[in-house]
Each structure stands twice: as structure tokens, then as C-alpha cells.
Amino acid sequence: MGMAGGVFFVCLLLCCCVSLISSSSSSSSSFSSSSSLDDEFDSEEDDYQSPAFEESYTQLFGDHNLKLLRDGKTVHIALDKRTGAGFVSQELYLHGHFSASIKLPSDYTAGVVVAFYLSNGDVYEKTHDELDFEFLGNVRGRQWRIQTNVYGNGSTATGREERYHLWFDPTADFHRYSILWTDHKILFFVDGVPIREILKSAAMESFPGKAMSVYATIWDGSTWATSGGRFRVDYRRGPYVAQFADLVLRGCPVSSPACHGGGRRRLPGDLTAAQRRAMAAVRSKHMTYSYCYDRERYPAAPPECGGGGGGGAGLARRRRGARRRRAAVDGLFSAV
């Protein structure tokens, strides 16, 4: 193949790839959140309204890198070359529904990690529980990725990470991220759409069961967050500011007698058929990693995985497709 012909085919292939990406993006339509479990709380007029910051949270670290706006209803936390920032709930909660509307920093954000999570690591150093939303920054032109993780009773040797591409730009506006935690299940929601469900079972020996605090942080994860540490935080582009609003704490504070025995708050029931279809669609189209399918890390799938929680077939197809595209491009360039 001549030089001109080779260049033509390379350009043709690149155009096809752009077309496929555009088609995939347009087909990743928004997911309906009507009648979701996440919204059951929003329809209740009770005492669990979004509180002002000073009423329910305290600054964890970051001195001047935490700022309050809208009378404490919105919180900005920033990462610069000096430090990150974070805040934590004043109470520990045993089960409940916890959410925040978050707007992430834009442009080049490689190495930046924003987290919204529950943990009791400050109380139980060796046997802590944790439920994570982690947002992993990226290079310019590539979207943030979202990661969920679960630890129970200090089970850090078995990381239960899952990662997803979002079907919207999380830097353009606020989007709601929610965790529902009961004594028998954990659900992660994005804008009211369930993206992950963990059920307590005999196979899962380390289900989170101790009271936890609610955290929000921004910090430097350069060693791992973007392409395994290949791209690091560039502080010349900072500060990186994550915005939190509509913070919701609807759980059982352990300091309250009402959260013990029969006075505990009712939590929603099971997902509907429509919600399960929406979750399956998200996992099939947008999940890019699940510990259940990582045979390099776990030669035998952890016992709670079973069928892997859904989305495995789509994940395998995307990996095979990526390998084929790389092979095709390598072949064309070698022929030029």
C-alpha cells in the first residue's frame, strides 16, 4: 500500500471511530428516575430536610479551602498545591439515606479525587466499614469516571470497586448522588437511577453493620486515580473546586433514642421492575470495571459475586471491541 493510500485509510478509520463514539454518546440517553426509591424521601414532609452546614457538619481539614455559600446550603471544597479539603457529619448514623448534589471541576483534572462516602475508620481503625462514591478526574477532553466501593468489618483486602462512565457532563451542572443503606441492602443512585445494589447474604461475610459518619473530600490521588498514575495533578491549573449542595442526612443518629428498637425510621422497600431495567441498562452501557470480573486480581470470583451483579456481558463486549480497534489501528499504521 502506498503512502497516500495508507494515510487515506487511517483517516477513514479515525472518522469511523469518531462516528461510533458519537453514536454511542447519543444512544446513552437519560434514564428515567420516576417513582424511584431515592425519591420516596423527597415526597415526605418531615424533619429530615437539608440542613445548613453548621447544623450538621464540621470541617475536617483544608482551612481556607472550604467555603460556605447560600447561608451554608452550598459548600465549596478546593484542592491546591497546599492542601485539599473536606467535611464530616457531626453525627454517626446506623442506616439511612444520604445524598448530595455535586458539581465537579472542569477541564484538566487528572489525579484529582472527589469523594462522597460513609465511614467509621476514625472509630474502628482495623475493623472499619465504608460506602464510597469516588469521582476520578481525567485529562482534558475526557470525562470524569465514577467509582463505588464497599468495605465491611475491615475487609480492605477485598476491594469491591466498580467504575462507570456517566451519561452526562458532571461539570456542567449539579447532579445528585445518593446512598441508601439498610440492615440488608445497599443501593447507589445517580440522579435517582439505581446503578448498584449489594444484598446482605451468607456469601458476603463482611456486610457493613456499624454506625458511620458522612464525609465529603477532595484530594490528590496522582499515584493511582488517572491511568494508574500516568497523569498527575497539575497545580498550575488549580485550584480545583468541587461544589456540594442539597446535602441530605436522613438516617438514624446513634445519639437519638428514637433510632433504637421500634422507633427507627422506615426505609424504602425493593426496587420496582422499571428501576431494575434502568439499573441493568446503566450497568450494561456504562460500567467499565467490576471486581467480580477481574481475574488477574481475583482468580476465583469473590463468593458474593454470583452472576457478577449484572453488566458483565456488556463489559466483556466493550473490552473485546477496544482490543479489535487497537489491533486495526496498529495494522494500518504498520502498513503505511
- pLDDT value at residue 17: 44
- What is d(CA 29, CA 33) in angstroms, rounded to the nearest whole number? 13
Running along the chain, 336 residues long, what does each successive block of 10 average in pLDDT?
A: 49 45 43 52 48 92 96 94 97 95 97 98 92 97 96 82 96 98 95 96 87 98 96 97 96 82 59 95 97 93 71 54 44 38
Q: Is 130 a catalytic residue?
A: yes
- What is d(CA 235, CA 105) in angstroms, rounded to the nearest whole number? 13
| Residue whose cell numbers read 483517516 | 11
- What is d(CA 97, CA 252) in angstroms, rounded to the nearest whole number? 9
Enter the DSSP assignment of 172: T
Q: Rounded to two decimals, what is the model's pTM? A: 0.81
Largest pairwise CA distance in the chain: 80
Catalytic residue among 55, 125, 130, 205: 130
Q: Is 134 a catalytic residue?
A: yes
Catalytic residue among 44, 45, 55, 134: 134
Q: How many CB atoms lie within 10 A of CB 95?
A: 20
Structural domains in the chain, CATH included, are: 34-316 (2.60.120.200)
